[in-house]
Amino acid sequence: MHKLVILIEPLDDWAGFEAQWPQFLHLVESLPGLRREATSQVESFLYGKSTCAQVHELFFDSRAELEQAMASAQGQQAGSLLQQMTQGRLSLFIAEHKEDDIENIRKYQQGHAAAQ
């Protein structure tokens, strides 16, 4: 699985951004191949120098599907709108995404403990 991660910096016009956010969501939610999305409002930083205020993640089965979605008409419109909404105060990156659920983690922990 691959994801497009959007890091949005603090903005001078947060109300203007929020007013356009539903339009942006409508565009990205129509991207071909999109499996799921997640939005996180950053509450505090525990370590580091990042100035991120919001994180938005778009998940796809493969990098090829992610790239096709970005190249689609909806992807191009969403990217253009996002640039406008943030005045370019954002970072984008593609990441391979792997995750595990707690049940599998506990199985590993139990097996590891029994082996010792």
Please state the pTM of the whole predicted model: 0.85
Closest CA to 24 of 67, 83, 88: 83
Strands (E), the chain: 2-8, 34-41, 54-60, 90-96
Give the DSSP letter of residue 10: P
> Which token pair is 99?
């995750």
Amino acid at 24: F
**What's the whole-number mean pLDDT along residues 92-104?**
90
* Token pair of 114 as six digits: 């029994």
Predicted local distance difference test score (pLDDT) of residue 107: 81
Task: State in words which class domain 2-115 has.
Answer: alpha beta
Residue 103: predicted pLDDT: 85
Convert the pLDDT of each residue in 7-35 to its tens digit: 999 999 999 999 999 999 999 999 999 99
Summarize pLDDT for 42-75 with one digit per residue, the tens: 999 889 887 899 999 999 999 999 999 999 999 9
Phi and psi at residue 24, in whole multiples of 5°? -60, -45
Q: Which of 44, 41, 53, 40 is nearest to 13 (CA)?
A: 53
pLDDT of 104 strictly over 80: no
Q: Is the pLDDT of residue 41 over 80?
A: yes
Instruction: Tell me the HSE value of 9 on the side-chain side, using a 13 A CA sphere.
Output: 13
Give the separation between CA 26 and CA 94, rounded to whole angstroms: 21
